[in-house]
Chains A and B, each alone.
Chain A
Amino acid sequence: MKNKILLISLILFICFCLVVLFKGLNNSNVYIPETTNKIIKEFKSRSLFSDDEISSEKILVNSDYYILNIWASWCGPCRKEHPKLMELSKNPSVKLIGINYRDNLKNAKNFVKKFGNPYSVIFVDTNGIISIELGAYGVPETIIVNKDKKIIKKFIGYLDDKSFKELNSILK
């Protein structure tokens, strides 16, 4: 009797493990932390095209939505999503803010000269501290912020057609 209880509970336990591991196999390994609904804290840095130090508090005003886009000239996917950002910049209710991540400033300037500048301002983030404090992984990354400076959505990696649609639907 004692043995039977042991056997049955063992079998149940093993089946449980099997189911969990089976489900675990289908889980994706991509990890996106819960960061929405957080307020963006003030950050300061110099802008790419002028040497003055600017504060995010002065930039994050007078618009319904702000889009923070973290990019670098050395990053291939950034090049790929650039046309979409150019398109976005035509939207008047959105202010597009660039954060230039760990880049060579000369290359960064050439990049926007060559492909166009969608950003209303570009913060220089030479050592990556601003991006980390925003909770970013790397480049590219796109963060949508509402007028209360609350993060409402985050796209890790480059904006493909699907996420671009999603982004546009949020802005409407």
Chain B
Amino acid sequence: MKILKLFIIIIILITNFTKGNSNESKDNLVNKISKNIRCLICQGQSIYDSQSDFSISMRLVIKKKLEEGLTEKEIYDFLKDKYGQWITYEPEFNKKTFILWIMPILLFIIGGAILFNRLFVKKY
């Protein structure tokens, strides 16, 4: 039990410290966003990874939008509005994608239940 307490204290300490540290520079934010945006004219590359005209322009647009004061989320929304869901690598959570997000976790729980059953309940 002592270990557990120690555990929790340390985790809380660490999590508290991380919060004050979100001062990313603008360039880093551009990079971060462009890693999550698909280059639509390439084969499976992100805007960040590609050197196509589309990607170069897109990075400039992201930078411009940041300078205009848009937040990261607003930029994603802007691009999704223009190009559809296909453009972001992070699928939204909505009625068409909830299975995608929930199913693995559901399977994990079912797996855990089977395992529990096998170990503690079922008698051979």
Contacts and interface: CB of A to CB of B under 8 A. Distances in A.
B40 A131 contact: no
A31 B40 contact: yes
Given A128-B60, A129-B64, A132-B82, 4 more contacts: A33-B86, A128-B61, A132-B61, A133-B82
Interface string A83-100: 000000000000000000
B57 A135 contact: no
Interface in A1-51: 31, 33-35, 38
Given A129-B64, A137-B41, A138-B41, A34 B84 contact: yes
Contacts of A35: 82
A135 B54 contact: no
Nearest to A33: B84
Contacts of B86: 31, 33
A132 B58 contact: yes
Nearest to B78: A133
A102 interface: yes
B56 interface: yes
B35 to A, nearest CB: 17
B interface: dominant SS: helix
B98 interface: no
What is the size category of the interface that chain A forms with chain B? 10 to 19
Interface in A84-140: 101-102, 127-129, 131-133, 135, 137-138
Given A33-B82, A34-B84, A129-B64, A137 B40 contact: yes
Interface in A42-73: none
A129 B61 contact: yes
A113 B48 CA distance: 37
Contacts of A34: 84
